[in-house]
Structure 1
Amino acid sequence: MKRIAIADGVEYLEAPQQESWMMNNGLLITGEETIMIDGRIGDEETPAFIRENRVSRFFITHFHIDHVSGAWRIEAETNCRLALNQIEYKFVRSGEALAQATGYKQEGIYHLVESILAPRMGFRCLPGIAPYELAEIEAISKGQLCAIQAPGHSPGHFCLYAPQSGSLFACDLGFDRYGPWYGFPHCQLADYLASIKIARELKARQLFSSHSPPVTEGVEEAFDRCRNIIEKRHSRVLSAWKKGKRTASEIAGERIFYPRTDRFGKRAIPVVAFWQETMARRHLEYAGLSAEEPL
């Protein structure tokens, strides 16, 4: 694992695999208290790193399964306490809460998430997880990090900026091949685009994120690519609408978002289809339109 200092007492932790749902990059803040922000570096490796570095708290940036998976092992195998942002922490305390927050229950597909995705990714609910406030990160870092709310990907999503070095940890804004992602009912496209704009206007010299290698040249262009992907998708959704496709399923069938829906196997196709249909709905809402329900 690569470690890069981005401020006094703050290191970026680069996971061994990039663009992976099984790992993510993170930050380590060392001071009076040592905390880790994300940094899923392997089933065995993450708890071992936490023990070796005497991490007292593990802050999960947002509630999505690729960030929460494996956290139960930290709780079981170390003395480190788990926390998730105060807007979302209740979502992972039970299967019922998660099913409601994601829309899986309403769609009738949570059983597929439980039986296929959860075992594959090492996900378990965290009944005892605590909340944290963004101000805590700023305080623990002794002002080396500025927390910036950046919703859209999730309601409590945020970025962390280190003014000293001009380094931005943009978390999951969507620089990897699967992003930008806004496939749950709580996602808002207007919020997402506003978050990209705010992050870009920081004019960071280095860009770090959850699932992609660091960007040290062309940082603003990276944000532009992210925004352009959303704009191209939007254009294609509206084109499908003008052609008479009125349901989210019909629009998602245009393969605007992902070319395949079987990446987790055929049984999980309804889950990926739900993500795509939800993203199509977000575009229609952004355009002031409403998807029709299938007959």
Structure 2
Amino acid sequence: MLASRVVRGWWGVLRGAAGASGARPGRGRTRGALLPPAPCCLGCLAERRWLRPAALGLRLRGAGPRNHCSGAGKAAPGPAAGRGAAAEVPGGQWSPATAASLYENPWTIPNMLSLTRIGLAPVLGYLIIEEDFNIALGVFALAGLTDLLDGFIARNWANQKSALGSALDPLADKILISILYVSLTYADLIPVPLTYMIISRDVMLIAAVFYVRYRTLPTPRTLSKYFNPCYATARLKPTFISKVNTAVQLILVAASLAAPVFNYADSIYLQMLWCFTAFTTAASAYSYYHYGRKTVQVIKG
């Protein structure tokens, strides 16, 4: 572009000089009419034979025999770095373009809230084992607040939504629920078979998440890329019954924590809640088995 502007400026000077010295009255010529119109680029200049690249040993880009200014005969531009570039990588190989297209900021507010919930899980487990249920109930309410806030923020602010958060949020719930159920079972507030069912389902789901991460990671697969939270390869979509099951499990935890505080540990309603939780847990596990592929959205670079 700079060379074209220089050529046009130089051509205008020549046209002005020619018009001043070569125009003669009565010949019908206008000022500057001795030279043709200014070329738009070096290709036009070469095409009009005012400049011969072959004679100078040069090969000017775009100086073809015809239609070079209209774009005919030009090679198609290469793909820009980004999501389109990674598709050109044969076999999905890892490349800088793929890395750039899969990069995201993991340090969002919802992700920080999910990490906070994971950090509160062992604290809750310790308080339950020590039978300090009053403080445990308050800490559990704080953990539930972080769960509500991270979902609200991710839904209403697009820049706070991330593929990592789609996996980190349910992972935080599962870690919290697993530790709570084991602790409450130790305190004889939740039956052992129900805890075994919930833990088994969560372990299988977490293993599936790690497998999906491995399968969607661009090759060559390394540990540094696998555990790098900045590179998102898949987005998880929990099923509706799974969301219902998570809510029911948390309700049972809250009811079990409050049972020794308000003296209703032997209530029939609490036992009915055990049965309902077992049903939703089994239904959730079946939904992931039946709709497994639809719950994973692979992010293509």
TM-score using structure 2 length: 0.22
Please state which structure has a larger fraction of its residues in strand: 1
Larger RCO of the pair (alpha carbons < 8 Å, separation 6+):
2
TM-score using structure 1 length: 0.22
The higher radius of gyration belongs to 2
Please state which structure has a larger fraction of its residues in helix: 2
